[in-house]
Amino acid sequence: NAGVMQNPRHLVRRRGQEARLRCSPMKGHSHVYWYRQLPEEGLKFMVYLQKENIIDESGMPKERFSAEFPKEGPSILRIQQVVRGDSAAYFCASSPGQDPYGYTFGSGTRLTVV
């Protein structure tokens, strides 16, 4: 039973380019969450999605960031026109349903903007 799969593991983008991060949840999990971890900081919630629906995007920056979880395929976190401050580790987690279950995290995508 594969865990939460994120790719790529490492992504380097120049300022102004687009970054696309992918997350495939664990089998049987229909809830996906994206978190960002800046250097020396804790995990910050970004967005919670179910299939074809954004449930809570209260942690998403208002501009340049978007997320989707289509009916088929992985969840995508898209960052347009990246800036150096976007450099961070982006973690995806999945769960089978409502809380109080703990998450299962993916290995993360480390984005570096040069």
Partner 1 sequence: QKEVEQNSGPLSVPEGAIASLNCTYSDRGSQSFFWYRQYSGKSPELIMSIYSNGDKEDGRFTAQLNKASQYVSLLIRDSQPSDSATYLCAVSPDTGNQFYFGTGTSLTVIP
* Cβ pair 75, 20 in contact under 8 A: no
**Other CB atoms within 10 Å distance of the CB of residue 48:** 20
Q: Among 11, 29, 59, 112, which residue sits at the site for partner 1 (rule: CB under 8 A)?
A: 59
Span near partner 1 by CB under 8 A; candidates 13-21, 37-45, 62-70, 72-80: 37-45
Answer yes or no whether residue 69 interacts with partner 1 by CB under 8 A: no
User: Based on CB atoms, which residue is closest to partner 1, 85 or 100?
Assistant: 100
By the rule CB under 8 A, 28 interacts with partner 1: no
CB of 41 to partner 1, least distance (A): 6
CB atoms under 10 Å from CB of 57, counted, come to 17
Query: Phi first, then psi: what are they for 61, rounded to 5°?
Result: -55, 145
Region of 17-25, 53-61, 63-71, 73-81 interacting with partner 1 (CB under 8 A):
53-61
How many C-beta neighbours within 10 Å does residue 80 have? Answer: 13
* Distance, first Cα to last Cα, the chain: 36
Q: Answer yes or no whether residue 100 interacts with partner 1 by CB under 8 A.
A: yes
